[in-house]
Amino acid sequence: MNGFIETENIIACNAWSSWPDPSHRVKHKRHEPIYDVAEYAAKANEVWLCHPRVMKLALQMFKRIPYFVLSEYEERKLAAEVGSNPNMGMLMIRAAQVQERFSEVWVCGFDHYKGPNDYYFIEGKFDHPAHVHADNERWFNRQFEEGRIFEL
């Protein structure tokens, strides 16, 4: 999700999703790099859209039709489980959970905003106005505890 970086161990992106408009990083004075969502969408085998209300923008930015679109029902259901707006990673997890073709969901790279250059940090402080970090972390940890997701 968001910015994918190829490494020697991971050289292909099988499914990718992002908020389709990278300009919000500038608007909200984010410090993370801005990337070209069309480039990522072109390289991925599948594009998933986890924000169904922005389909028109996603089609413009991704320049292709998403393979999978998370329903508004599932997005609202997840927000109710979390207690506030879920972050992008949580939406991706739910997208994988609701697709019957996956028997298990494995995740990696979640550090719960403890890394030095996190997506939701401005000057070292978690401050994304749309997300409540404590709610997100509780939901995420509950998924591990209940065996709904597994960590690489």
Per-residue model confidence (pLDDT) at position 44: 81
Question: Within 13 Å, how many C-alpha atoms sit on residue 56's CB side?
Answer: 0
Asked if pLDDT for residue 152 goes beyond 80, the answer is: no
- Give the three-class secondary structure for 110: coil
Model pLDDT, residue 35 = 64
pLDDT at 38: 80
pTM of the predicted structure, to 2 decimals: 0.78
pLDDT tens per residue, range 102-141 = 999 988 777 666 665 555 555 555 556 677 778 988 999 9
Pick the more confident residue, 8 or 41: 41
Rounded to whole angstroms, how far apart are CA atoms 84 and 132? Answer: 6
Q: What is the pLDDT of residues 32-47, one digit of tens each?
A: 556 677 877 887 888 8
Q: Are strands 150-151 and 125-126 parallel, antiparallel or unpaired?
A: unpaired
Is pLDDT larger for residue 27 or for residue 2?
A: 27
For residue range 66-96, list pLDDT tens digits in order: 999 999 999 999 999 999 988 888 898 999 9
pLDDT at residue 139, as a whole number: 93
Q: Is 75 helix (H, G, I), strand (E, B) or coil?
A: helix
* Distance in angstroms (rounded) separating the CA atoms of residues 12 and 50: 20
Question: Rounded CA gap, 140 and 142, in Å?
Answer: 5
